[in-house]
Amino acid sequence: MEKKELEGVSILVAEDDSGIVTLLRSFFEQNGATVWVEENGQHLLERVHAFQPDILILDVVMPHVDGLTALAALRKSGDNTPAIMLTDLNTVEDKVTGLDYGADDYMTKPFSTKELLARVKTVLRRVAELKGGSSEKIIRMGSLEIDPLAREARMVNGEQIQFTKTEFDLLYYLAKRKTQAVGHTDLLNDVLGYKTDTETKALVMHIANMRKKMAKISIDSVKIETVAGVGYKLIEA
């Protein structure tokens, strides 16, 4: 028997629209996944801890507690279960906000279930790759230490830089390829999970925020350099 694409994967769908819930439950189960549903953002944290899903599909607009607030609380608790946000909002700023709150990807309604499936697989693969690299040694560049196991970026004196989840993933990706120019497409596909280059503005905004945070604590020995026509590289100044 042919293995289904999501066989062995568990998914928690946090969504209050019964039509979308029915669609997603049926679609994911047809593809081999185990599916749980939560219709209230207020209970997301306890449901994640109870079910321990492999991935969340989370609507931004839900009763009592919205999806962004619920996800922020989840991340604050130390839980890094990957999450894909669903929303009617479609600006780059909205997408960046979702990613900054700890989402791994962001889809606007209406959406294609085939595209959602592809994004679920991409996020799960990316998380598996990051976990696979978690035993790697701390990367040191100048006065900056990047710890993949603790998922922390800090100065050698121990002061932490408060990067968002997405910002840390970008930093770690660049650091593993230090001094090498990394293309926009690689960062968009491998870190942000986009399949096209149309979301370059979101990437630029993340890089700008990272530079501001690095400048705020006076990291002079390391910087993210723009490589014209290519992308970015992390260098020791």
Q: What is the pLDDT of residues 104-148, one digit of tens each?
A: 888 888 899 999 999 999 888 877 766 665 445 778 888 888 888
17-57: pLDDT as tens digits: 999 999 999 999 999 999 999 988 888 888 898 888 999 99
pLDDT, tens digit (0-9, with 9 covering 90-100), for 162-194: 888 889 989 998 988 877 899 998 898 888 877
Residue 126's pLDDT is: 79
> What gap in Å lies between CA 70 and CA 43, rounded to an integer?
8
C-alpha to C-alpha distance for 38 and 67, rounded to whole angstroms: 11
The confidence score (pLDDT) of residue 130 equals 65
For the domain covering 139-236, report its CATH number. 1.10.10.10
pTM of the model: 0.61
Average pLDDT value for residue range 51-74: 90
**Which of the 8 DSSP states describes residue 132?**
H
**Region 10-132: CATH code:** 3.40.50.2300
Domain ranges for the chain:
10-132, 139-236
